[in-house]
Amino acid sequence: MWSAIKRWWQTHKARRKPWTEHRYIALDIETSGLDPTNDQILAIAWVEVSPPVIHYTTGRYYLIKHDKTDLKQSPVIHGLVKKDFIETSELCDVMKALAAALNNKILICHHIQLDWRFLKQAAKHCDIQLSPLALFDTLAFEASRLKRQQHHIQRGSLTLSACRSRYGLPEYDSHHAFSDAVGCAELMLAQGYKFAGSSKSSIF
């Protein structure tokens, strides 16, 4: 029990550091649907961020091996087709790599509620513990900011592309896990520097 309390206190203190002193993992996944229990992770990508730098050499992109890959609407949504899955990685190997990458870092996603549910389901299947220092959702941050400023949130205004455009960030091809992970990293940095600046404040 004491060790659990000690870990909680260390994590609590670490989260209070200035946001620019944290390290982050920006991540995106592509799935065959929206249900982590019945749908599959098809692709996953991430990249490490140490504000103001995105460390592109740390970037990882994996197509996931399944006994039977069920693409469902993925050819339409993600552009993934059967021939893309000639070279794949075992899900549990990828989860092990992700667990190591997340150690003492904050996980960033755009709509983290969905991605985190899939990640937790995959980690449970592989008997692996994912323990990021904290979770940060660029979509939720933007939604909260717009509501505080009394903006009307229209349909489509919280997509990654739409959020990036409000910060003058370039448009990327969407629905590719790696470009979306990088796009999410750039958006987080833009949000952080615009609203927290280089001060010792936290955006969490």
CATH number of the domain within which 73 lies = 3.30.420.10
Percent of the chain whose predicted confidence (pLDDT) is above 70 = 80
Q: Are 23 and 104 in contact (CB under 8 A)?
A: yes
Q: Is residue 107 part of a domain?
A: yes
Q: How many folded domains does the chain comprise? A: 1
Minimum mean pLDDT among 108-112, 136-140, 152-156: which range? 152-156
Q: Is residue 26 part of a domain?
A: yes
Q: Residue 178 corresponds to which amino acid?
A: F
Q: What is the pLDDT of residues 40-50, one digit of tens each?
A: 999 999 999 99
8-state DSSP, 133:
S
* Edge-first strand listing for the sheet containing 106-109: 53-63, 41-50, 24-31, 106-109, 134-137
Q: Is residue 126 part of a domain?
A: yes
The reported pLDDT for the residue numbered 71 is 58
Q: What is the pLDDT of residues 169-202, one digit of tens each?
A: 998 876 789 999 999 999 999 999 998 886 666 6
Best CA proximity match to 13, nearest among 25, 24, 3, 22? 22
If one compares 106 and 10, the residue with the highest pLDDT of the two is: 106
Return d(Cα 99, Cα 17) in angstroms, integer.
22
Q: Is residue 5 part of a domain?
A: no
Domain limits at 134?
A: 19-195
Q: Is residue 201 part of a domain?
A: no
Helical (H) or strand (E) element with 143: helix 138-148
The reported pLDDT for the residue numbered 203 is 59
3-state SS class at 65? coil
